[in-house]
Structure 1
Amino acid sequence: MYSKVLCMAVIVAIVAQFEDASGYGVAFSSNHFSKHDGHPEIVHGHGHHVDYHTHPHYTFDYKVEDQHTGDMKSQHESRDGDVVKGYYSLHQPDGSERTVHYHGDHHTGFHADVKYATHHIVPHHHHHHY
């Protein structure tokens, strides 16, 4: 799964650089990935074949901010063993922001808390004094 996310982050970074070079404005993207798996342990062996198992442990995050297109999103996720926790947020076409906090494990399954926030734009009126 982390390879898919890492690939997505690289694609987003390339697209952001292309948009900047095309003169459409500045876009910002960032990503980070850390993998902290433990030492491999032998699970079982079949003749010359040996399977290994490590305790999965990673964190990753990415962020995209493109003012020209309005593409604004971010995600953070961590895993320790079979417990996965994270959140993601994105600005939707209607101007609202969707934020999802999620967690899952083998015992309780997957759970997500989805929230929507509307950002109201208040126009500033400039008064000219003559």
Structure 2
Amino acid sequence: MESQYKEEAKPFAYDYAVHDHFTSTNFAKKEGRPAPSPYHPAPSYKPVSSHPEPQYKEEIKPFAYEYAVNDDYTGTNFAKREESDGHNTQGYYSVALPDGRIQHVNYVVDNYGDYSAEVTYEGEAHYPRIPPCVGTHPI
């Protein structure tokens, strides 16, 4: 019967080493023929040219939005409003703080990144009195 493989035998090479800690046996051996050098085909793509990235001019995009939540059951109370003409942005937000006050913030941001805010508070802060621990019991 004729072999189905038409390829010639290729060179082979392998190394192995043994180190046995129990018997203190150490040896290494190289066998076989040297392996052929690896094949490195030429790339099938063109290298990237070093031209600068295109610069896109961003369009002015005015916007406006507003939302609010006031849930008496959970005590959630906050709102936000913001609008922009594409150059300057102004807005407002308010949030109920854990101490019972409501914080209001009016802000303005210009096209140069300057931010100015006016912060006010409504109400008076209340801090619950926590009774001192009288005795401790070991677990």
TM-score in terms of structure 2 length: 0.47
**RCO comparison, higher one (Cα < 8 Å, 6+):** 1
Which structure has more helix as a fraction of its residues? 1
TM-score (normalizing by structure 1): 0.50
